[in-house]
Amino acid sequence: MSKRDYYEVLDVARDASERDIKKAYKRLAMKYHPDRNPGDKEAEAKFKEVKEAYEILTDADKRAAYDQFGHAGVDPSRGAGGFGGGNGADFSDIFGDVFGDIFGGGRRGGHRQPARGSDLRYNLELSLEEAVRGVNRELRIPTLATCDLCGGSGAKKGTSATTCGTCHGSGQVQMRQGFFAVQQTCPTCHGRGKIIKEPCSKCHGDGRMEKSKTLSVKIPAGVDTGDRIRLAGEGEAGEFGAPAGDLYVQVTVREHPIFVRDGNNLYCEVPISFAKAALGGEVEVPTLEGKVSLKIPPETQTGRMFRLRGKGVKSVRSHAVGDLLCKVVMETPVNLSERQKELLREFEDTLSGGGKHSPKAEGWFDGVKKFFQDLNS
Ligand SMILES: [Zn+2]
Ligand SMILES: [Zn+2]
């Protein structure tokens, strides 16, 4: 389906001012907003179209690019964030940003919309095992909750808040300054639009109170540092019964003594003896599900990486499972007895006079020789 012209979508002239564009957007967004058209797919599509047009045309750079190149000049899936994209934009955010000043400001003479509660962030530290397997956690969250005595109204039990007589509930008053009429927050009700004659004894008229709550949160298997889990409506309570904000659980995974994680893969180092590296054999390596046996072929050099398929981390986003990468590190033996040293010297003598036992050294000596030749030439 080809895209409609953004100006046409918003029904504005090509030279429309930002103000006109905003006005047109508000009008159309109100009309097509999903909250007003529940289940109406066509309205939802229209809403997305309108929002996209608005985002492009109110960004001076994007609008210029669009005017010059059309839809090819702007890609709304990048940057500005498509509708419901990863930027966390959702219907309630849109209501907060754009509709706030429709309902507020007193321009319509209606009541000021009480503010939605703030979003909260909770930093959760997990061990690697917990992150990989998933875990249920009880979180204790200090927050503002709706007052249970007055139900959020802020008024004493049995009474109710009355509309402010100064601003008639708009929360704003007009002041004259010379030729200009200036909107100001109402000094009587401080913008609330309501007067509480007898405040609630518990919350002292705020409608909210500090409270910590305990939430049981299921952390899905496979999460990693930087992932966050959104718990809708578990943030701070809104003003006077307005919707609560969201709670974001931000995950950090602690360093592990053995494993280093990179995406879905795990890395670890496995020390092996000189004899085992030379002769081959088996070593036990740890995985998150217990020990497994790793076969070391003869003549294994230090630093060689072995891949154990499917022993990594199961992705939280797909069914993909990572691998465990084991790097074998040859250990130089220490605390040798005289007898052991003797054996090694004897062994070393058997190696002299030929590079066939030392695949790396041969190449290395060649390199050194060439290096000096190049220096001298
Ligand atoms: Zn109260
Ligand atoms: Zn007032």
Largest CA distance in the chain: 106
pLDDT of residue 299 exceeding 80, the answer is yes
pLDDT score of 76: 52
- pLDDT confidence band for 82 (50 / 70 / 90): very low
How buried is residue 212: exposed, middle or buried, by Cβ count under 10 Å (0-12/13-18/19+)?
Answer: exposed
Can you say which residues are annotated as belonging to the binding site? Answer: 147, 150, 164, 167, 186, 189, 200, 203
pLDDT score of 293: 94
pLDDT of residue 101 exceeding 70, the answer is no
Kindly state the tokens that stand for 104.
């507020």
Distance 148 CA to ligand 1 centre (A): 6
- pLDDT confidence band for 280 (50 / 70 / 90): very high
Strands 305-308 and 180-185: unpaired
Distance 111 CA to ligand 2 centre (A): 10
Ligand nearest, relative to CA of residue 193 = 2
- pLDDT confidence band for 324 (50 / 70 / 90): very high
Distance 198 CA to ligand 1 centre (A): 11
Task: Give the residue with greater pLDDT, 79 vs 278.
Answer: 278
How buried is residue 236: exposed, middle or buried, by Cβ count under 10 Å (0-12/13-18/19+)?
Answer: buried
Please give the share of the chain, as a percent, with pLDDT higher than 70: 88
Tell me which of 53-57, 203-207, 248-252 is least confident.
203-207
Ligand nearest, relative to CA of residue 200 = 1
- The pTM (predicted TM-score) of the whole model is 0.54
Q: Give the CA distances from residue 292 to residues 221, 263, 280, 324, 327, in Å, rounded to whole numbers and listed in that order.
A: 22, 22, 17, 11, 15
pLDDT of residue 105 exceeding 60, the answer is no
Average pLDDT of 92-108? 35
Residue 89 · residue 83 · CB < 8 Å: yes
CB burial string 221-232: b at 16+ within 10 A, e below: ebbbeebebebe
Can you say which residues are annotated as belonging to the binding site for Zn(2+)? Answer: 147, 150, 164, 167, 186, 189, 200, 203
Average pLDDT of 311-316? 91
Residue 171 · residue 189 · CB < 8 Å: yes
Amino acid at 26: K
